[in-house]
Amino acid sequence: MKSYSHQSSCRILFGNRIIPGRLIQLMPLIAKRIRIAQAVVLLGTAVPIWLTMGAIAPEIVRAYTARVDLFIDRLPEENYETLLQRAEAAARAAAQRSFDQDILVTDVFIFVSVQNNGAIAPVLELAVTRPQWRQRPDPRRWAKYFKTARSLLYFGDNFTTPAPATNNQAGK
């Protein structure tokens, strides 16, 4: 058996052969190319698999519900039925606008409140899904009316609207 300790440090025993120093200097470069080849193989297989999975099973759509709160004021000399018609028209426009603005909206909840002489009360709630609205875009079909709104807003026979205060100074 030969001893190679006396030879140059640029040579190394590899198996039964001696590898010259030039080859030893190339080893890091070869190892680097092997790592690059491994990365190319991994990316070359992973990216097509990822794209295939995306095509077969697309990402779940994140649908959501839109909520709209509307406030309208009573116009002078407006009765309750006319006020309800305005509330329905406002709810219809808000529902259509909500569905038109965002394709991911699947449900719409619209609350319409009315202000009359300082009193505020909800008069209707419109809750509708996109397929329902597409089939029949009528707010009266999907609206829920609050029966106590008429009395809370001082509409009705037994309620009188407060008269504005007047300063009668004719006698002085």
Residue 141: the pLDDT is 94
Entry pTM:
0.57
Q: What is the pLDDT of residue 10?
A: 47
- 40 phi and psi, to 5 degrees? -65, -40
What residues of the chain score a pLDDT lower than 50?
Answer: 5-11, 158-172
Phi and psi (nearest 5°) for 112? -110, 120
pLDDT at 37: 77
Q: How far lies 34's CA from each of 15, 29, 39, 47, 148, in Å?
A: 21, 9, 9, 20, 79
